[in-house]
Amino acid sequence: MYRNFKIVPNIIFGRGSFNQLGDILAPKRVTPDSYIVFVLDDIFKERPLKNRIPMEKGDLLILVNVDNEPTTKYIDQLVAQIQAYNPNKPVGIIGIGGGSTMDIAKAISLMLNNPGSAADYQGWDLIKNPAVYHAAVPTLAGTGAEVSRTTVLTGPVKKLGINSDFTVYDQIMLDPELIDGVPKDQWFYTGMDCYIHDIESLHGTYINEFSRAYAEKSVALCRQVFLDDHPDKDDKLMMASYFGGMSIAYSQVGACHALSYGLAFVLGTHHGIGCCITFDHLEEVYPEGVREFRRMMEKHDIHLPRNLTKDLDEQSLQTMAEVAIGLTPLWENCFGKDWQQIITKERLLDMYRKM
Q: In what order do the strands lie in the sheet with 171-174?
A: 10-13, 171-174, 134-138, 92-97, 36-41, 60-64
DSSP 184-229: HHHHHHHHHHHHHHHHHHHTSTT--HHHHHHHHHHHHHHHHHHTS-
Across the strands, what pairs with 136? 95, 172
- CB nearer Fe ion, residue 95 or residue 191: 191
* Phi-psi group of 27: left, alpha or beta (phi > 0 → left; psi -120 to 50 → alpha; rest → beta): alpha
- CB nearer ligand NAD, residue 91 or residue 98: 98
Specify the DSSP class assigned to residue 71.
B
Cα distance between the two ends of the chain:
38
- CB nearer ligand NAD, residue 92 or residue 98: 98
Across the strands, what pairs with 39? 62, 95
**With contacts defined by CB under 6 A, how many residues of the chain interact with ligand NAD?**
29
Residue 168: contacted member of ligand NAD, Fe ion, none (CB under 5 to 8 Å, by partner type): none
Instruction: Give least dist CB 282 to ligand NAD, A.
Output: 18
- When binding is defined by CB under 6 A, the residue of 72, 122, 150, 269 that contacts ligand NAD is 150
- CB nearer ligand NAD, residue 91 or residue 111: 111
Instruction: Give least dist CB 117 to ligand NAD, A.
Output: 18
Contact residues: Fe ion, CB under 5 A: 193
Count of H-run helices and E-run strands, the chain: 13, 9
Instruction: Give least dist CB 341 to ligand NAD, A.
Output: 29
Specify the DSSP class assigned to residue 35.
-
233 binds ligand NAD (CB under 6 A): no
69 binds ligand NAD (CB under 6 A): yes
144 binds ligand NAD (CB under 6 A): yes
Instruction: Give least dist CB 191 to ligand NAD, A.
Output: 9
C-alpha span between 47 and 75 (Å, rounded):
24
Q: Which of residues 3-22 bind ligand NAD (CB under 6 A)?
A: none
Instruction: Give least dist CB 193 to ligand NAD, A.
Output: 6
Residue 114: contacted member of Fe ion, ligand NAD, none (CB under 5 to 8 Å, by partner type): none
43 binds ligand NAD (CB under 6 A): yes
C-alpha span between 128 and 131 (Å, rounded):
9
β-pair type (152-154, 159-163): antiparallel
How far is residue 192 from each of residues 65, 269, 278, measured CA to CA in Å?
23, 15, 12
C-alpha span between 200 and 276 (Å, rounded):
13
Residue 90: contacted member of Fe ion, ligand NAD, none (CB under 5 to 8 Å, by partner type): none
234 binds ligand NAD (CB under 6 A): no
Contact pattern from residue 167 through residue 196 relative to ligand NAD, giving x for each residue in contact according to CB under 6 A and a dash for the rest: ------------x--xx--x---x--x---
Instruction: Quote the distance between the C-alpha of residue 70 and its chain's center.
Output: 11
C-alpha span between 214 and 198 (Å, rounded):
8
Contact pattern from residue 245 through residue 284 relative to ligand NAD, giving x for each residue in contact according to CB under 6 A and a dash for the rest: -------------------------xxx------------
Instruction: Give least dist CB 197 to Fe ion, A.
Output: 6
- Name the one range near ligand NAD by CB under 6 A: 135-143, 210-218, 289-297, 321-329: 135-143
How many residues does the structure list for the chain? 355
Instruction: Give least dist CB 134 to ligand NAD, A.
Output: 13
C-alpha span between 7 and 86 (Å, rounded):
31
- When binding is defined by CB under 6 A, the residue of 90, 92, 95, 97 that contacts ligand NAD is 97
For 225, other C-beta atoms within 10 Å of its C-beta total: 27
- Contacts to ligand NAD by CB under 6 A: 41, 43, 66, 69-70, 97-101, 103, 139-140, 143-145, 148, 150-152, 179, 182-183, 186, 190, 193, 270-272
